[in-house]
Structure 1
Amino acid sequence: MDAVVNVHVAKTQLSRLLERAHAGEEIVLAKSGKPYARLVPLDPAAGKRAPGGLAGVVGDEFFDELPENELAAWQA
């Protein structure tokens, strides 16, 4: 079951609430007694990036030299 915590209480207990969320608990923050936001643990895999994620999206032409007219426009 989700824990419901009022914002006023959450301000004074944020560190404890973060620890509980990190442990897997979902905490609902309430404002004036009404649900307002959720404090949930992050997915550990969500922050990891793998090389080659843009393969096929960015072509080799990205690394080609600029044509003279575009190069001149950047140097103006």
Structure 2
Amino acid sequence: MANYGVAEAKNKFTHLLERVEDGERVVITRHGKPVAELRPVPSPRPRLTEAERQAWYDEFIKRRDARPAASIPAVELVRAMRDGDPE
């Protein structure tokens, strides 16, 4: 990890960004005290492949179909909740 004063960091900003792109962390100090840190942005999560996405979907459908059906239609359940019917 490299330390740079504010004035030096300002003058070498492009160089500091190159160091950060290479994975290094850079601390910027004012009067010897750290005030900021430049660090690489974490890489995004890798996207699922088509096969992984299909496997996830198949598992979702399997779990959905394994659940028991509701005893009453949803519209009746909402009406009962809204109207305060004790069911």
- For Structure 1 versus Structure 2, the TM-score category normalised by the shorter chain is 0.5 to 0.7
Question: Match for residue 41 of structure 2?
Answer: 42
CA distance in 2, matches of 1:7, 1:21: 16
Question: Match of 1:30?
Answer: 29
Which is bigger in relative contact order (C-alpha 8 A, separation at least 6)? Answer: 1
Structure 1 position 44, deviation (Å): 2.0
C-alpha separation in 1, matches of 2:13 and 2:43: 21
**Amino acid corresponding to residue 15 of structure 1 in structure 2:** T
- Find the structure with the greater CA-based Rg: 2
Aligned mates of 1:44, 1:16 — CA distance in 2: 21
Match of 1:21 in 2: 20
2:41 is paired with a residue whose SS is coil
How many residues end up aligned between the 2 structures?
47
Normalised to the residue count of structure 1, the TM-score between the two structures is 0.56
- The aligned runs of 1:54-65 (5 Å cut-off) are none
- Bigger fraction of residues in helix: 2
The CA RMSD measured in Å over matched residues stands at 1.8
Gaps of 5+ in 1: 50-76
Deviations 1:26-46 (A, max 9, x none): 000001111111000111217
Structure 2 unaligned regions, length at least 5? 48-87
**2:16 maps to 1:5:** no
